[in-house]
Each structure stands twice: as C-alpha cells, then as structure tokens.
Structure 1
Amino acid sequence: MSKRMSDGHERLSERVSRAQICNLPCELRDTVIDLLHTDHGSLKACSLTCRAWLPRARYHLFRTISIDRGRTGDAFAHLLRSSPTISTHIQDVEINGSQSQSNWWTTDHRKGMFPWPTLGPPTRGHTETDLTEADTWLRRILPEDTHLLAKVKSLRISALPLGGTLTVALQPHFENVKVLSVDGCKALAFGDFITFLRAFPHLESLHLLAIQWLPGRSHQSEECAKSLPRMRSLELSHKVDAAPFVSWLIDEEAHSEVTSLNCSVSGQKCASAISQLLKALGPTLRRFVVGFRETGDGADVLRKSALELTHSTGLRSLRIQCSTASSTLLQSSYRPSLSWIVILLATANSSLLKELTISISASDLCALNMEGLDVVLSHVRYGGLERVIFEIDFQKQPMDRSQISRVSTRMVAVWRRGLLRFVVVGTDANGF
C-alpha cells in the first residue's frame, strides 16, 4: 500500500513540476530557449517538453538548413512532405552540389565536354549532363509547393553548375532571397552567371567566394527580362575574376546602391577592377574592407592600378586585412613589406571616417610601418577618427604583451589621442 502511495506521489510531483515549467512566462521561456540556440540536443528536448515550447525550439532547430546530394537532401525532402509547417521557420538555406562519384570536369571532347583552362596537370571538363543532373536532383528534393520556402532570406550554393536549368529550378523557391553566397560554382559562360543573378530581384547582399566561367564562350542563355537586383553589400574573393563582373556591374548601373564593399585583391588586374569600382561608387560607399592575397609587392600593385580612396568621400568604416602569413613563410624571419597600407591610407579623403581596423597576425607586426602609419593618421583628413583597432592574431602562440605595447610606443600621436584599441584573436589570448 505504501509503495502504491509513493508511486502516486511521484507521478503527482512530476505533473506539478511539468505544469510549473510549462506555465513559465512566455518571455522567460523564450529567453531560456534562445540561449540554447547552438545546442541541438537541448533544443530537441525543449521541443518535447510541452506544446508551448515547440514553436520557439523549432525556430532555432530549422532556421538554418544544409542540403547536399547525400542523405541530408533526401531527409529535407521527406521532412517538408511530412511536416510542411516547419518550412515557416526556415530562413537560411545552404545547397551543396558536390558528390563523391561526380563526373565533373572530365576531359573527353568526343562526349561534348569542355576543357577548363588551368595551370598544372590536365583537369576534368564540364558536361551538359551535369547541368541536367543538378537540375533533376534539385527538382526532386525541393517541395512542389514553391510557397513553402518563401520566407528564406539567405541562400548559399556550393559546387553547382550555373546554367539555365539550375536557375529555372531555384528561382520559384528563392526569388525573395536577400543574401546570396556563391562558393565553388562554375558556369559555361559569364552570361549564364548573370542570368542566374537576375533570378534574385530582391537581392541586397552578394558574396562571391569562388566562381569560374569559361573565357571567350558566347552567352548561351536567353536574356532575362527581369530587373537587376539593387545590391547594397558586395563581397569579392580573390578566387573571382573581378574584371568582367565589375565592368558589367558598372555598365548596367547595378552598383548604384552599394554601400559596403569587401574585396580580396589577387593581382593588378583585380586591383584595377576594384579601382574602377571605387571611382564609380564615389561618396555612396560607407564601409570598405580590403586585403591582398597571392600577389607580389602590394605597393607596386597599388601604384600601377591607381587603387585609392580619393573618391570615397562618404567612407565611415575601413578595415584592412594585412596578414602575409603563408606556408612558405612560417619558418622564415623574412616578412614582405606592408608599405601598401600606408600608401592606401594616405589617399583617404573622407571626413566622416570614424573607425579604422587593421587585422594582422602577430608575426607580421614587424613588417608594419607604424611610424609612417602614425604620421598619416595624424593628418587633418583623419580628424573625425574615433577608433584605430588592431585585431592581432597570435595563431595559437603564447600571447606576447610586449608586442602590443610596442604598437602604442611606435604610434605615439594616435595613442595620445586615445584612439588605439586592441582585439586579440587566438585560443591562448583569453583574458587580455
């Protein structure tokens, strides 16, 4: 009898505890769940706690969806078929078209494949059937009801062939996308890529991380009648041939509303394109991020390309990525000159500039002309500057505070104005 009463008491206590948890104020409940946004295991437990907790848990569980040609693609298709209401929570989608047994870029002209120009050993060619395969796969995993993904605001595509069939497959589902990232994609012609961009008329932010197209090939897709997206933010990686894209951007006046530009310069041709874009943007540009990758002398590239900040009179924030670390230099005491930073900053012409960030590895600090930097930043053109931030990456090395102190010692004028700030990056830099 006593055991039966004890079991009943435990069940009653459990029901009372569950009721107390479920009756928490909604603001407190949502805060608790929000704090678990990166812990999928805990979010799943929250979704099973009670019906009131389910929507907020689902919001975090299904906010970001990643799809590939393996099991995740099929699981996504099954999920939307069985529970279509979940689609209301999906805001960020990543589609990765890579597959282990892909026949991309094989070289066989008898099968209508196209050679891909590159250095090194012969690469594989691209076939028209790859476009069809990607199109077939996407049509299979994307829902028949195109309205289910209407709330998606961010789309990232990787390792996909950009052609007319893929554009037709994606457009009905993602035409409301505002943020688009393209990584590791290839097109048969530059025009195919432009047709793809036109499929996103509401696009505000474009991140071109890695994309290639065959040079000299004619545009095989029909010109789309839809209006061009009016982008406000643009990122161009060093893995993108910026010249044709920038020329198209300016010719079509698709740059007129860009206020944020992030670019990684890969050589003089790229630098000339960025120079052309900076002139076209003029006072519209508010935020600029620039760095050099895989180049020789950055100062020489700047001079020959006329890349300067003279026309950016509306600039408010400037970030310079100046790390020169590479596998060939890790064991060497030699560091390439970073004089291009002083040269570029000497061309600034914005009285609105408030923040300058210099991102640099600790091993490259010795290559930075801090005295020259101090002189340039003391000029009247930097009179409105409020912060000079050194973001120093110690790359898992023990943090050396003397290196940080040395910056203040060598940049006396900036230090006296109280502008210097330091952000230390690295696992061993905690507590600075």
Structure 2
Amino acid sequence: MPSIPSCGRASSEGLPQEMVDVVIDHVASDTRALKRLSRVCRAWYPRTRRHLFQEIVFHPGRSDQYFAGLGDLIEKNALLKQCVERLGVEFQWDADPGWLDNTFIISLLPLLTSLKNVSIHGPHLLYVKWPTLQPAVQIAFHNLFAQPHVVSLTLHRVFDIDIAAFSQYHHLEELTLRNVRLTEGRPSQSGACFPLQTTFQLDHPTGSLRSLSITDSVVFLAEALFVCTASSGATFNFRNLTQLDLRLQEFDKDFPSTCASLIKACGPSLETYKTSFRRGPLNHASVSSALQLRRFPHLASFSLVVDNSSHVGLNGCEIIRSILVPELDLLPGSGSQSFINSIHLNINTLDIGKVGVTDKKDLYGFCSEEVWSRLDEILARPEFPFLRELSILFDVCMEELGRQDLVDVKELVLARMPNLQEKGIVTVSTSETTLGMY
C-alpha cells in the first residue's frame, strides 16, 4: 500500500467525499491503515472512526485500562457512541470467567445505545456456565439484551442459562443458538427476574423475530416454545419467522416433538429454510419431522445438508429416496402453486457402503436410481412455476474414485432429469473430502 503521507492535506480535502469513502472502505479490515487514514484530514475522520469502532470485542486479554479508556471515550463523544453497532464477548478455556466482573465493563454496557448485534462465545471446545458469572454481570447483560436497539443475539457454547428472561425480548429480529443448554427446572421455579404466569395468551402474536438459527440446542428451544406459548408474561414468539436454520449434530430423542412444535408455530410465515443433519445417528422420526415442507405454504428457498459421519442410521441417499422426494410429491397441495424458487441438496457420500469411504459401486448405483427421474417429474410440474434452481452437491472421498468417476456420477444423475435440464434449472457437482477429516 502506498505511503499515506504522500497524500497532501490540501489535495485530500479537495477529494469528493464519495471517493474518500471508497478508499477507506477498501481497507476496512486493516486497523493500522484505518488509524493512519483518520489522520489525513478532517474529511477522512468520520468514515475511519465508523469502521474502527463499529465492532468491539471483550476478552480476558483486555486490560482494565482498555475498558476504562473505551468507556471514557464513548461517554464523552456522542458521535463515537453511534458508531458501535456490534459487541463480541469471547471467553477462553484458560481464563476464569470472573474477568467479566469488572466495574469498567459493567458501566460501559449501558453506554452502548446504538448497539445492534451482541454475540457471546464460550471457550473453544468447552463452554461457559452462565451462573458462574457474578449477579451484577448477569443483570448488566440481561439489561443490555432487553434494550430495543439490540436486534440480533448470538449465544455459542453457553450452558445453564434461564429462558425466562429471553421470553421478554420481543424486539429481537435475529437469534442464533449454538450448543446452548438450559438451567435445570422450569423457569418459573428458578427465581427468574421476570415472573411468568401460566395462562395461554397468544391470540394476537407480537414480536419481531424473523431469523432463527439453532444448532444442538433442542432442550433450550423446547423450553422456549413452552414458555413463549404458555405464559401471558411472554412477549417473545416464533410466529413471524421468515428464515429458519435448523442443525442437528447429535441424536436427541426430543427433537421430533420439538421440531413439530416449532414448525407448527412458524410454518405459515417461513420463506427460507435450511436444515442440516451431521454425525448422527439419524432416525426416520428425526429427519421426517424436519422435512415437513407441506407446512410451509410460502417457502421460497430450501437447503438440505446430510453428513452422517457416525455411519449409523439413515444416510443421505436414504433420506432423499424415502423422505424428501415423497414430501415434495405432496407439494403444494389443494391444487395451489408452490413458491419455491431454489432447492439445494448437499449429500456426503462417505456413509454409503463402506464405513468412512465413498464406495464406488454404491455411489454409481445411487446416481443411477429412478429417484432422480421421480424428482425431475415432480419439480417439472406446473405446480412449481417459480423454481429456478436445483443444485445437487455430492461430497466424495477420492480413495476409491478417479477423476472420470466424478464426471460419470454427474452425467448419471443429469441423464435422469431431462425436464429440468431443458429448463436450465438443475446442476450437479462434487466436492472432495479427505479421509483424515473423519
């Protein structure tokens, strides 16, 4: 990058603001460059300040002086306060979570009045237990979550957290839960700060939640559904969802019933749906509960990822054959039209035949099946007038395959889908997975 001082002050001030913004945006990820650009002239300062302070991250490596200085800076600069839109809190496996019990942090949180996105990440491969945080810290963060300007919340590897408070966060538009665990017992029994009644009251659903992403947090989700539909004190609900990302990475006996309840709540409004099954073991009840596509009358985009690396239960081929295609055959129902415009299928073939290896014979056999002709016949119907894309991706291990095999499996599938080929809708591709990953 050319030396910043080479830009003269006079010429810099004469540049159109649009050009200044383009230059600054180009180095937005380079903190050092942004700091240097902020000193070129007054016109360069606001844009660089916005990038420098748009996201702040708390982690145990930060000193008290950092938090004190940041709080003082934000408190005295109203324009700077408007720049902070994202907050990340990152725990580390070798650091006591008590580092958050810091008066500078607690006093800083209420100053973040323009904050939109909050994410809390437990230690890598471990977790943080919410009750281990001091009460003052818990209250400070719950107060932050409850602010109407916070519209996106991510929790990752957070255990023993109470759902009761979350049932009040009706202003959230995006909620992401990755491996989140609940405290034991019903929220009404755990001394939650929001007393919830047990009478049903959701005849007129409220709430702003539009996007929900869940990974291995089935119990939390089940309890949230219970609280938010069985309590007059709950203002949070799932009934206006338009985007749902549902990922099951471990077997959970409660998944089918919880999934059915969620789909019943959000099905009428859902437009984008992605579901992933990884590791397993996968059973018919779990998978079929998540693939009730007929429950989504306004569904426009659907993605399915199957990667059963446990090699127990259903594999991707069986799911396509026995669950997905029959479900698509039932769409849209009642003589109406489906709004689906894109379908994405990602199937890991390591669970076909031999354990841990893409078996050549079995893969060729699957790609030659009539199920692809059936899928072609279904999706070519007049009931799918908006379909513009069907993409099929096979993850393969090359141990028993050659380059020509990759070409052959694509052609085998495409040969059975002449209608969608003629419309230019279908694509088949492969990606290579190394055996060492499993």
Residues 1:197 and 1:374: Cα distance change in structure 2 (over 3 Å): same
Mean Cα displacement is larger for which, 377-386 or 33-42? 377-386
**2-side partners of 1:33 and 1:80: how far apart?**
25
For 1:235-287, what per-residue CA distance to the aligned partner results, in whole angstroms no more than 9, with x for missing partners? Answer: 11124423323333443571221122111134452132112221232321111
Residues 1:335 and 1:195: Cα distance change in structure 2 (over 3 Å): closer
* Alpha carbons 1:309, 1:344 under 8 Å: kept: yes
Paired residue for 1:283, among 268, 288, 303?
268
1:24, distance to aligned residue in structure 2 (A): 1.0
**2-side partners of 1:424 and 1:21: how far apart?**
50
**1-side partners of 2:173 and 2:252: how far apart?**
27
- Aligned residue for 2:101, secondary structure, equals helix
Q: Which residue of 1 aligns with 2:222?
A: 243
**2-side partners of 1:136 and 1:237: how far apart?**
29
**5+ long unaligned stretches in structure 1:** 1-13, 103-129, 428-432
- Aligned residue for 1:322, secondary structure, equals strand
- Aligned residue for 2:303, secondary structure, equals strand
Paired residue for 1:317, among 281, 301, 315?
301
Q: Which residue of 1 aligns with 2:354?
A: none
* Alpha carbons 1:46, 1:53 under 8 Å: kept: yes
Residues 1:297 and 1:361: Cα distance change in structure 2 (over 3 Å): closer
**5+ long unaligned stretches in structure 2:** 123-127, 198-204, 352-357, 434-438
- Aligned residue for 1:211, secondary structure, equals coil
**1-side partners of 2:163 and 2:55: how far apart?**
25
- Aligned residue for 1:320, secondary structure, equals strand
* Alpha carbons 1:68, 1:96 under 8 Å: kept: yes
Q: Which residue of 2 aligns with 1:141?
A: 105
Paired residue for 1:208, among 159, 164, 177?
177
Say yes or no: does 1:29 pair with 2:20.
yes
Amino acid at match of 1:211: V
Amino acid at match of 1:420: V
- Counting only pairs closer than 5 Å after superposition, residues 348-367 of structure 1 correspond to structure 2 as 348-349=331-332, 351-361=338-348, 366=363
Q: Which residue of 2 aligns with 1:177?
A: 150
Say yes or no: does 1:153 pair with 2:116.
yes
1:63, distance to aligned residue in structure 2 (A): 1.2
**1-side partners of 2:39 and 2:397: how far apart?**
42
Q: Which residue of 1 aligns with 2:389?
A: 387
* Alpha carbons 2:316, 2:349 under 8 Å: kept: no
1:315, distance to aligned residue in structure 2 (A): 1.2
Q: Which residue of 2 aligns with 1:44?
A: 35
* Alpha carbons 1:65, 1:93 under 8 Å: kept: yes
**1-side partners of 2:256 and 2:413: how far apart?**
29
Q: What number of residue pairs does the alignment pair up?
A: 373
Say yes or no: does 1:55 pair with 2:46.
yes
Residues 1:306 and 1:323: Cα distance change in structure 2 (over 3 Å): closer
Report the TM-score when normalising by structure 2.
0.72
Say yes or no: does 1:231 pair with 2:196.
no
Q: Which residue of 1 aligns with 2:163?
A: 193
Residues 1:306 and 1:263: Cα distance change in structure 2 (over 3 Å): closer
1:45, distance to aligned residue in structure 2 (A): 2.3
* Alpha carbons 2:392, 2:427 under 8 Å: kept: yes
- Aligned residue for 2:115, secondary structure, equals coil
Amino acid at match of 2:39: L
Residues 1:297 and 1:222: Cα distance change in structure 2 (over 3 Å): closer
Report the TM-score when normalising by structure 1.
0.73
* Alpha carbons 2:279, 2:307 under 8 Å: kept: no
Residues 1:239 and 1:145: Cα distance change in structure 2 (over 3 Å): closer
1:379, distance to aligned residue in structure 2 (A): 4.0
* Alpha carbons 1:67, 1:73 under 8 Å: kept: no
**1-side partners of 2:275 and 2:247: how far apart?**
6
Amino acid at match of 1:54: Y
* Alpha carbons 2:291, 2:324 under 8 Å: kept: no
Q: Which residue of 2 aligns with 1:7?
A: none
Q: Which residue of 2 aligns with 1:410?
A: 416
- Aligned residue for 1:310, secondary structure, equals helix
Amino acid at match of 1:385: L
Residues 1:346 and 1:64: Cα distance change in structure 2 (over 3 Å): farther
**2-side partners of 1:169 and 1:53: how far apart?**
35
Q: Which residue of 1 aligns with 2:242?
A: 259
**1-side partners of 2:432 and 2:30: how far apart?**
23
- Aligned residue for 2:179, secondary structure, equals strand
Residues 1:267 and 1:29: Cα distance change in structure 2 (over 3 Å): same
**2-side partners of 1:411 and 1:78: how far apart?**
63
Residues 1:390 and 1:56: Cα distance change in structure 2 (over 3 Å): farther
- Aligned residue for 1:180, secondary structure, equals strand
* Alpha carbons 1:90, 1:151 under 8 Å: kept: yes
Paired residue for 1:420, among 419, 426, 435?
426
